[in-house]
Amino acid sequence: MNPYVLDMIEHGQLKRLEVEICYTAEMDEFWSFVVKKSNQRWTWYAIDKDSGIILAWHNGGRTDADFRQLLKYLKNIPIDHYYSDDWGAYSRNLDKNTHHIGKDQTWKIERKNLNFRIHLKRLNRKTICYSKSETVHDNVVGMYIERYYFKTGLFRNSA
């Protein structure tokens, strides 16, 4: 086959190529506590599906109001598709056409949950390390996110 002909065919296809930029996000929440396990804190966050960069996060309860707060932080980012697990807040607050439910598309954010628990001992379920103040707890999670996950989607020792 003549490579020049192939190049001309590809050139003709590129003239008619339409490109649509599609932003996608994975969303999840993870549980922790302050002082005692009955005082639960939930960290809601969204990551860019391709790069793994955390787009926005919010600490609070496991309520629709807290999820809507996360959505408020995301309103200026043109996200076309959301991937999440089957927690009800997602279904109630996201459009059916853009929301996709399933664990098969949220493996990156589930892995990031494990990184959080490994790197921040206060998020571990069975530990003697725990937060005594919601403010300190939220600040520790926030500083960790800003240092390691706002610029790149990968955990690195140097910022």
Pick from 41, 13, 11, 48: nearest CA to 27 = 48
% of the chain with per-residue pLDDT over 70: 78
| pLDDT over 90 at 84, yes or no | yes
Query: What pLDDT is attached to residue 12?
Result: 63
% of the chain with per-residue pLDDT over 90: 35
| pLDDT over 80 at 18, yes or no | no
3 state DSSP class of 5: helix
User: One-letter amino acid identity for 119?
Assistant: H
| Residue listed under structure tokens 């076309």 | 80
CA distance 27 to 56: 10
| pLDDT over 70 at 155, yes or no | no
98-136 confidence digits (pLDDT tens): 999 998 889 999 999 888 888 887 777 666 677 788 898
Task: Give me the residue spans of the domains in the chain.
Answer: 26-148
CA distance 157 to 154: 10
Query: What pLDDT is attached to residue 156?
Result: 54
3 state DSSP class of 32: strand
- The band of 46, judged by pLDDT with boundaries at 50, 70 and 90, is very high
CA distance 83 to 99: 6
Taking only Cα atoms into account, the Rg of the chain, rounded to an integer number of angstroms, comes to 20
Query: What pLDDT is attached to residue 128?
Result: 67
Q: Which CATH class is domain 26-148?
A: alpha beta
Query: What pLDDT is attached to residue 87?
Result: 92
Query: What pLDDT is attached to residue 20?
Result: 66
Query: What pLDDT is attached to residue 148?
Result: 81
How many residues are there in the chain? Answer: 159
CA distance 55 to 138: 17
**DSSP code for 145:** H
Is pLDDT larger for residue 144 or for residue 101? 101
Q: What's the N-to-C CA distance of the chain in angstroms? A: 50
